[in-house]
Amino acid sequence: MDRYAVIGNPIAHSKSPQIHTAFARQTGQAMTYEAILGPEHGFADTVRAFAASGGRGMNVTVPFKLEAYDLADQLSERAQAAGAVNTLSFRADGIHGDNTDGVGLIRDLEENLSCPLADRHVLLLGAGGASRGVLLPLLAAGPRQVTIANRTAARAEALAERFHPLCRHTRLDGCGFEAVAAAPVDVIINATSASLSAEVPPLPDAVFDGCALAYDMMYGARPTAFMNHARARGATRVADGLGMLVEQAAESFALWRGVRPDSAPVLAQLRLQLAATAP
């Protein structure tokens, strides 16, 4: 049996074992997938020990994505752009690092939620690891304009500058929340961690007016504060990040096994389970 795992700290809450086990069953792959609690020190040793004991690949979650980046012998283009690794593959020529978060987001937006990004104006909220992780695939989807807005304006400006060389037809800017124009945008993606504390980034109400999709990368049993806020201000559609989670897993699975699983039934099952935990 080929072995795979997710490593993070904390890890007990992780849905990755359930998702990958469902993918394996669905595609008839002989593999196991477990959750490993990463140590405070010695991440690299834990990963190498897993590989030495027959591990073929690992997903990496908070707080180890930067350490995984440093550990990898080879990095994909999207891992390099993200500056972080969420998927490790143990190959004969070393440890290969990739990042499937961005492609997972774009697949959720464009395929699951039928929200094409080409020629649209996207407002990306946040300038942390999640924003940086999705920018390469986001720009590749061909939006007309991307505005990165963040609580700390300088981080948004720096991120926009870093990705400028990768823009072909897209206008890319970074600013503080207070500098966001009071005008409608097509798609808003919340990649801040504000929803963790039920806060909403301070934006002009007008940005939500008629917005095709307001998407929160966070997910839970109930709509997030951001989703409720966006809907009340005129967003046509709102969604959370559960689909992104399943799609980034599907991309990792395809990288490892060479088979693309059908994510829809797995997402539907997770959604049902989450709803059942609502207070």
Sign of CA dihedral 96, 101, 106, 109: positive
Pairing of strands 187-190, 213-216: parallel
User: Residue 130 interacts with ligand NDP (CB under 6 A)?
Assistant: yes
Of 103, 88, 125, 266, the closest CA to residue 204 belongs to 125
Is 127 an interacting residue with respect to ligand NDP (CB under 6 A)? yes
Helices (H) and strands (E) in the chain, counts: 10, 12
65 classed as catalytic: yes
Could you give the count of Cα atoms lying within 13 Å of 178 in the half-sphere of its Cβ?
A: 4
Catalytic residue among 65, 96, 132, 229: 65
| Residues in binding contact with ligand NDP, number by CB under 6 A | 26
* Residue 48 Cα distances to 33, 66, 87, 98, 255, angstroms: 16, 16, 14, 17, 20
CB of 149 to ligand NDP, least distance (A): 9
Residue 44 assigned to a binding site:
no
Distance CA 271, CA 150 (A): 29
**241 part of the interface to ligand NDP, by CB under 6 A:** yes
Q: Please choose, out of 8-16, 43-51, 136-144, 194-202, the segment that lies near ligand NDP by the rule CB under 6 A.
A: 194-202
Residue of 119, 199, 205, 262 that binds ligand NDP (CB under 6 A): 199
Q: Answer yes or no whether residue 229 interacts with ligand NDP by CB under 6 A.
A: no
Binding site for ligand NDP (CB under 6 A): 101, 126-131, 150-152, 155, 191-194, 196-197, 199, 201, 217-219, 241, 244-245, 248
